Structure formats: structure tokens, C-alpha cells
Amino acid sequence: MNKSTSLKTKLLNSPYIVWSALFVIAPLIFVVYYSFTDIDGNFTFENVLSLTAYTDTIIRSVWFGVVSTIICLVIAYPIAYIMAHSKAASQRTMMIMVMLPMWMNFLIRTYCWMVLLQDTGIINTFLGKLGISPVHMINTPGAVILGMVYDFLPFMILPIYSVMTKLDPSIVEAAQDLGCNRFAVLRKCVIPLSMPGVISGITMVFVPSVSTFYISQKLGGGSFELIGDVIERLYLTPNQNNVGAALSMFLMILILICMAIMNKFSNSSEEGMVI
């Protein structure tokens, strides 16, 4: 019996392990390999050292990622709370409405924002008709952050919402019985218990917004770049794949560190909450 189990296990696992080794691990090894070699395949530190030129870009990307994640969280938390506490039928409708934009291609939605925000765009034309002088919005950091918040907001709403629906209402009732007012219930029960949703929401927003490359090109006008833009540009520049690989490796490490900090953060806070 035991033998057959281990055989079965091996049979079921080995294809997946082989696949992962080929298409998950091997590409990453290539990234590392290309980072440390020049075009002719000789070992070099030059690519990695040349990354110092991108310090500004990296700082900017991380900062934009942090800001858009925080804004997403601030917008998404109340809406997820409202959704989780409305009637079943309207919950269903709201779920569809949150998910629907996600199915539309983000390129088109971002492009539409560009059309909206342009100096001669829809918003400014509208303001002009009202007699208000046009506001310059496009090609600013604000526009890029707006684009990120817009594109990734559903990724924040959905996990928080799904955790909140699973929240046992009797806990809230118990807290109320024990004399908590509405605010205290929120602070002591709802927020701590919805933490897993918040954490996964933060991950799902932060990672794409640090690494995005289309939003900044369209809404930022290409006058300031983010990490993703640089990687794409290097990909399209002759003989620059090695530097691109080095930057990808850096981005990967950066994300891993951020995730590790996140996990540490969430663990300690969860433990704190158990007490």
C-alpha cells in the first residue's frame, strides 16, 4: 500500500516538477546568467554596476507603488465593508460590477484615461464649456498614480470583500454585547480579522504597480520612466538584453524583499491580535 502511494505521488508530481524546472526555474537562471555576462557570454559585473544609473527610476517606482497601494487600500476598504454588509442580491450585483472592468483590457482603459485627462481632452473640454480654465493633468506623476489606482483597485476590493463575507457576524454581536461601540467593533474586531484580505490585496496591488510599463508611458508621457519602462526599452534597444536582465533580477529581488517584510509584518500583527 505504502509503496503504491509513493509511486502514485511520484507519478503525479514528477511532470509538474519537470515543468516548473523548465519554465519557472530555468528562465530565472537565465535572468541571473544574462545579468552577469556580456554579449559574448563573458563573465562581467558591468551590467549590475550600471544599475546605479537607475537609482532615481527605482526610487520613483517604489514610491509610486507605495502611494497607489495606500490610496487603493483607503478607497477599497470602506467599499468592501459596505458590499459585505448589503443585501445578498445587491452584493451579487456589486461583485459583477467590480469584476467587470477587470475583464476589459487594461490597455484600453488606460488609453481612455489619457483621452479624459489630456489638455484638449474630455474633462478639460467640459470645464472649458463651464467657463473654468483648463487644468493640466496629463503627464504628471498624479496622472500615473491615478492610472495605477484605477487599474488595480479591483485587486484590492475583492480579497478584502471575500474575507469580510466570511467574517462570523456573531463575533461582532458578541463585541457589541460586551459594550463596544461601532467604532470599537471596527477597530478591535473587523479590521484585525480582515487583515489577511488586506495583506493579499496589498500584494496584488503593489507588485503590478511597481513593475507596470504601459500606464506611465501613456499617462506620464514618457518624460519620467518607471522600472518597467526601462526594462521594455532595453528589450527594444539592440544588445541591451543583458542590462535588462540585470534590472529584472533587481526588480525580482526588490519584490521578494518587500514580500518578506510584508509577511513578517502580518505575522507579528496577527500574533499581536490573538492575545
Partner 1 sequence: MKKFLSLLLCVISVVFCAMPAFALSDNEIEALRGTKLYVYNWGEYISDGEDGSLDVNAEFEKRYGIEVVYNTFDNNESMYAKLKSGGVSYDVVIPSDYMVERMLNEGMLEKLDYSNIPNFKYIDEKYRNLDYDPDNEYTVPYNVGMVGLIYNKKLVSAPPTSWTALWDEQYKGQILMFNNPRDAFAIAQSVLGLDYNSEYPGDWRAAAEELKKQKTVIQSYVNDEVFNKMETGEAALAPYYAGDYLSMLDINPDLGFVYPEEGVNFFVDAMCVLKGCENKAAAELYINFMLESEVALANAEYICYASPNTQVINNPEYTFYGNEILYPETSVPTQIFINLSDETLSMMNTLWDEIKNYQPNQKLTIESNKYAIYLGIFFIICIAVMVHKILVRKYRENY
Partner 2 sequence: MKILSKIYTFLVFFFLYIPIFVLIIFSFNESKSTSVFTGFSFDWYLALLEQEDILNALKTTLILAVGSSVISTVFGTAAAVGIDSLRKGWLRSATMGVTNIPMMNPEIVTGFSMMLLFVFASKLLGISDSMGFGTLMIAHITFELPYVILNVLPKLRQTDRNLAEAAQDLGCRPVQAFFKVVLPSIKPGIITGMIMAFTLSLDDFIISYFTNGREFQTLPTIIYSMTKKRVTPVIYSLSTLIFFSILLLLILTNLIQYLNEKKQNKTSD
Positions touching partner 1 (CB under 8 A) are 53-57, 59-60, 62-63, 66, 118-121, 136, 139, 220-225, 230, 233, 235-241, 261, 264-265, 268-269, 271-272, 275
Residue 30 binds which entry of partner 2, partner 1, none, with Cβ cut-offs from 5 to 8 Å by kind?
partner 2
Size of the site for partner 2 (CB under 8 A): 76
Report which of 151, 158, 154 is spatially closest to residue 105, judged by C-alpha positions: 151
Query: How near is the Cβ of 53 to partner 1 at its closest, in Å?
Result: 6
Give residues with Cβ within 8 angstroms of 123, minimum separation 6: 116, 117, 135, 137
The one-letter code for the residue type at 29 is: I
Q: Is the Cβ of residue 189 or residue 208 nearer to partner 2 in the bound state?
A: 208
DSSP notation for 59-117: HHHHHHHHHHHHHHHHHHHHHHHHHHTS-HHHHHHHHHHHHHHHHS-HHHHHHHHHHHH
**Ranges within 207-266 binding partner 2 (CB under 8 A):** 207-208, 210-214, 218, 228, 231-232, 235, 241, 244-245, 248, 251-252, 255-256, 259
Q: Is the Cβ of residue 92 or residue 264 nearer to partner 1 in the bound state?
A: 264
Query: How far is Cα 200 from Cα 198, in angstroms, rounded to an integer?
Result: 6
Figure out which of the listed residues 58, 71, 98, 144 binds partner 2, where binding follows CB under 8 A.
98
Query: What's the Cα-to-Cα distance from 138 to each of 21, 64, 130, 222, rounded to whole Å?
Result: 44, 16, 20, 11
**What long-range pairs does 89-92 form, CB within 8 A, spacing at least 24?**
91/165
Query: How near is the Cβ of 66 to partner 2 at its closest, in Å?
Result: 15
**Ranges within 18-37 binding partner 2 (CB under 8 A):** 19-20, 23-28, 30-31, 34
Q: Is the Cβ of residue 125 or residue 268 nearer to partner 2 in the bound state?
A: 125
Residue 116 binds which entry of partner 2, partner 1, none, with Cβ cut-offs from 5 to 8 Å by kind?
partner 2
- For residue 145 the three cell numbers come to 498614480
Going 167 to 173 to 178 to 183, the CA torsion angle's sign is: positive
Rg (CA), the chain: 23
Report which of 2, 29, 84, 62 is spatially closest to residue 226, judged by C-alpha positions: 62
Residue 78 binds which entry of partner 2, partner 1, none, with Cβ cut-offs from 5 to 8 Å by kind?
partner 2
Query: How near is the Cβ of 171 to partner 2 at its closest, in Å?
Result: 21
User: DSSP E strands: which ranges in the chain?
Assistant: none
Is 63 a binding residue for partner 2 by CB under 8 A? The answer is no
Residue 20 binds which entry of partner 2, partner 1, none, with Cβ cut-offs from 5 to 8 Å by kind?
partner 2
Query: How near is the Cβ of 252 to partner 2 at its closest, in Å?
Result: 5
Going 219 to 223 to 227 to 233, the CA torsion angle's sign is: positive
Residue 239 binds which entry of partner 1, partner 2, none, with Cβ cut-offs from 5 to 8 Å by kind?
partner 1
Query: How near is the Cβ of 180 to partner 1 at its closest, in Å?
Result: 19
From residue 99 to residue 138, what is the string marking binding to partner 2 with x (rule CB under 8 A)? xxxxxxxxxxx-xxx-xx-x-xxx--x-------------
